[in-house]
Amino acid sequence: MVVAFAPLPVSSSSPQARNFRLEARQFAFSPSELFVNPGDILTLELVSTDVVHGIYIDGYDLSVEADPGRTATLTFIADKPGSFRFRCHVTCGAMHPFMIGKLTVGTNNWLYRSIGFSVLAVLGLLLFPRTDPKIKL
Amino acid sequence: MELTRLSLLESALKSRYPQLAVFIVMLVGYIFAIIAGLIGTPVGSSNFSIVFVWIAWWAILILIAVPFFGRGWCAVCPIPLPGEWLQRGAVLGPHGNRWSSRRRGTDADSVLLDRRRRTETKWLNLRVPKMFRNIWLQNISFLLLALFSSVLLTTPNITGIVLAAMLFAAVGLSMVFERRAFCRYLCPVGGFIGLYSQTAPIELRIKDKQVCVKCKDKPCYHGSSAGYGCPWDVFPGGLTRNTYCGLCMECIRTCPHDNIAVNLRPFSADLAKPSARMDEAFKAFIMLGSAMIYAGVLLGPWGMFKDAAYNVGTTAWFIYAIIFLTIIFGVLPGLFTLGLLQTKGAASLKQRFASLSTALIPLGLMFWVAFSLSFVLTNASYILAALSDPLGLGWNLFDTANIAWQPMLTSVLAPAQTLALVVGLIWSARTAQKSANEAGVSPFTIIIYCLIATSVMLWLLL
Which residues in chain B are closer than 8 Å to A61, comparing Cβ atoms?
410
Beta-carbon separation of A135 and B430 below 8 A: no
Beta-carbon separation of B304 and A30 below 8 A: no
Q: Does B410 touch chain A (CB under 8 A)?
A: yes
Q: Determine the pLDDT at residue B98.
A: 42
Interface confidence (ipTM) of the complex: 0.90
Q: Does B154 touch chain A (CB under 8 A)?
A: yes
Q: Determine the pLDDT at residue B441.
A: 87
Q: What is the edge-to-edge ordering of all strands in the sheet holding A28-30?
A: A28-30, A17-25, A41-48, A71-77
Residue pLDDT, tens place only, B100-123: 444 455 555 555 555 555 555 678
Q: How far off is chain B from A67, nearest CA to CA, in Å?
A: 19
**Closest to B75 in 3D by CA, of B198, B264, B202, B247:** B247
CB B110 within 8 A of CB B218: yes
What is the band of A135 on the pLDDT scale with cuts at 50, 70, 90? very low
What is the band of B99 on the pLDDT scale with cuts at 50, 70, 90? very low
Measured between alpha carbons, how far is B221 from B212 in angstroms, rounded to an integer?
A: 11
Cβ-nearest to B433 among A33, A58, A129: A129
Mean pLDDT, range B390-417, rounded to an integer: 92
Q: Does A98 touch chain B (CB under 8 A)?
A: yes
Q: How far are the Cα atoms of A81, A83, B131 from residue B288, in angstroms, in the given order? A: 31, 24, 26
B92: pLDDT strictly greater than 90: no
Q: Does A127 touch chain B (CB under 8 A)?
A: no
CB B259 within 8 A of CB B239: no
Domain ranges of chain B: 3-128+175-270, 274-461
Could you please report the per-residue DSSP string of B373-402? Answer: HHHHHHHTHHHHHHHHSTTSSS--TTS-TT
CATH code of the domain made up of A16-123: 2.60.40.420
Q: Phi and psi at residue B446, in whole multiples of 5°?
A: -70, -40
Q: How far off is chain B from A31, nearest CA to CA, in Å?
A: 9
Residue pLDDT, tens place only, B307-354: 999 999 999 999 999 999 999 999 999 999 999 998 877 788 899 999
A109 CB-side CA count, 13 A: 16
Pairing mode of beta strands A100-105, A33-36: parallel
Q: How far are the Cα atoms of B82, B119, B176, B312 from residue B124, in angstroms, in the given order? A: 16, 10, 5, 38
A95: pLDDT strictly greater than 50: yes
Measured between alpha carbons, how far is B313 from B148 in angstroms, rounded to an integer?
A: 10
